[in-house]
Structure 1
Amino acid sequence: MKLHILLLVIFLQFWSKEVFAQKQIAITIDDLPTISRTMNTDALRAELTDQLLGHLKQHKVQATGYVIGEKLVKDGKIIPAQYGLLSKWLKGGHSLGNHTFGHLGINDISAAAYEADVLGGDTLLRDFLQKEGAELKYFRHPYLHRGNTVAKRDSLEMILAKHKYIQAPVTVDNEEYIFAAAFDKAMGSKNQLLADSISKTYVNYMMDYVHYYESQADSLFHRPIPHILLMHANLLNSKALGQLLSRLEADGYQFVTIQKALQDPCYLTEDQYIGKRGISWIHRWAITQEKNGAFFKGEPTVPKFISDLMQ
């Protein structure tokens, strides 16, 4: 009898761990090499990068970073230090993708100009990655814009297919950039108490967003899906990313690559959204399925004291 009870306990522990591990999330980080008003020297950008990579290494995360090409050049000449930061990402086991040259959204320019911006980033990345033994496969849309007209949406699809890019969707979108600007402001004024408050609020806010989209995905698919989280290579995340990753782990999330996440059939769901807003793919799918306003309720908001710091 005791043996049977022991075996049952072991089975239940194993089963609960398997169910717990069904929650998966891929970490993607935009605007590489770095984006920060205060970390604006080669040494400070290297410090920011090292801190980001340290958090990822500690939590055994293989992330994908999306590079803005214009950050790699100045006056038509490449910036070796910026490429050095990208090499650190590759040596850390992470992959890099194209985020265009000038971070232009397709809603605001012609399809021809957009293709030129895609190729501007491609030119600066592809040969570099090949020399580093890596491959350029993924593309992240600036502002998550995919076209505000049918013609632009179709042009974007053709451009990326022509250049053999895999589009990198986002399920957990957020307004992290507002927190990042507030955090930069606090750190720039050496207000550590305020910076700590922003950081703590930010981690709670991001977890609220994860839970919000987790619930919506459950409503759409009636099961957990591997999520893709959007973040940026900023000072805030260089300080707070470790806390956020710890919270995700405590919440039952397993970190996966974007390649692994995209193997889930949910990412083949039809997306017929046409509009100005850059939104989560979950909302794109929901709009395509004509979900009503109630479906979208409960989205987290940025606290007033954070948004006030943006003024």
Structure 2
Amino acid sequence: MSFLRGLLLIGITMLSIQHVSARIYHAKRIAITIDDAPSPSTPLFTGQQRALSIIDHLRKSEAPPIGVFAIGSHVVDFGAEQLRLFGLAGHAVCNHTYSHRSLKNCSADSYIQDIKKAETLLKEFPGYAPLFRYPYLDEGYPAQTEKVNSALKDLGYTNARITINNCDYYMSYIMQKALRAGKRIDYEKLRTVYLKVMLECVEYFDGWFALQGRQSMNHVLLMHSNDLTALYIGDLVQALRDRGWTLISIHDAYKPVPDDFKNTPPTIAETESVNPARSRNAPKGMSANYLAELFRQEKVFIDAKPNETYTASN
């Protein structure tokens, strides 16, 4: 009996170790990033109100620092105070070029100068961090890519690739179009649709990388500086935590870690494979037709009453 009992205990111990190992191996860690900041005013928010709303939601959620990828021309034209607020709140101010051009549409040399022009401006802000993200996730053609990446290395930048894509910008477009058409928003339904789509994209790409044998990596979520982020980033943080995700600081997302936890952002080829403009290998939430139909089915927008005003509190 003692021999059998010993085998049983060994078996239970091994199962427990395997269970713990599996949980460690698929540790769901995610950093949040926001592109195209600072952003202009809309009928719902001024640019500064939007920045303050995002900052407040993150503070209340006790979220770690996010990466705010700034367009230099936006800072000059209307958004310096927005960016300063993000930096003062502890978030990282990062480089998204000065002019927000696609690398494929210009020379590598002019693109590098555009990066440097943005750096000269952005490094004066609190929270500045040497992280760079290609606009449109476009790393150009091979010769361009090699030259720009070499320049980034010389400038001390980390290429801040993403691992989780989505179309929050298109959902924002649908909302703004409805407002211009005189529609009223059911904000609870909008919240439900937004979280459904964002979480589906998170789980899709997490699964996609798991199929590549990358279960344990630091994920980086792409979002944009828009009204949906201002309204629901706090809800998204909570929903991610409810599903077992641990939010990590943008400052930790690209740091070297042990081999089995090493962050491996997509290569250029993999970025192409998750870009909806280049491939069908994407979740349904990255389909414009799907999103338009989802908003229609859920009746997110309602005909407005005469003289009704539109604010985020409606």
Shared fold per TM-score greater than 0.5 = yes
Match of 1:145 among 133, 138, 146: 138
What does residue range 1-311 of structure 1 map to in structure 2 within 5 Å?
22-35=27-40, 37-38=42-43, 44-61=46-63, 62-74=65-77, 82-126=79-123, 128-129=124-125, 132=126, 134-147=127-140, 149-189=141-181, 191-193=183-185, 196-221=188-213, 223-262=215-254, 263-264=256-257, 265=259, 266-268=262-264, 271=267, 273=269, 280=274, 296=281, 300-302=285-287, 304=289, 306-307=291-292
Q: Return the alpha-carbon distance in structure 1 between the equivalents of residues 24 and 153 of structure 2.
A: 36
- TM-score, L = length of structure 2: 0.75
| Displacement after TM superposition at 1:249 (Å) | 0.8
Q: What is the SS of the residue equivalent to 2:33?
A: strand
8 A contact 1:33–1:233 mirrored in 2: yes
8 A contact 1:170–1:228 mirrored in 2: yes
The amino acid of 1:30's aligned partner reads D
| Displacement after TM superposition at 1:84 (Å) | 1.8
* Alignment: residue pair count: 272
| Displacement after TM superposition at 1:305 (Å) | 6.8
8 A contact 2:72–2:99 mirrored in 1: yes
Q: Return the alpha-carbon distance in structure 2 between the equivalents of residues 269 and 177 of structure 1.
A: 22
Q: Which runs of 5+ in 2 are unaligned?
A: 1-15, 296-314
| Displacement after TM superposition at 1:195 (Å) | 5.3
User: Deviation per CA, 1:60-94, whole angstroms, max 9, x where unpaired?
Assistant: 221110110001224xxxx5xx2222121122111
Q: Return the alpha-carbon distance in structure 2 between the equivalents of residues 47 and 268 of structure 1.
A: 35
The amino acid of 2:50's aligned partner reads L
TM-align CA RMSD: 3.4
Question: Which is higher, the Rg of structure 1 or of structure 2?
Answer: 2
The 1:150–1:157 alpha-carbon spacing in structure 2 relative to 1, beyond 3 Å, is: same
The 1:269–1:66 alpha-carbon spacing in structure 2 relative to 1, beyond 3 Å, is: closer
| Displacement after TM superposition at 1:204 (Å) | 0.5
Q: Which runs of 5+ in 1 are unaligned?
A: 1-10, 284-292
Q: Return the alpha-carbon distance in structure 1 between the equivalents of residues 290 and 225 of structure 2.
A: 23
Q: Return the alpha-carbon distance in structure 2 between the equivalents of residues 154 and 303 of structure 1.
A: 33
Q: What is the SS of the residue equivalent to 1:60?
A: coil
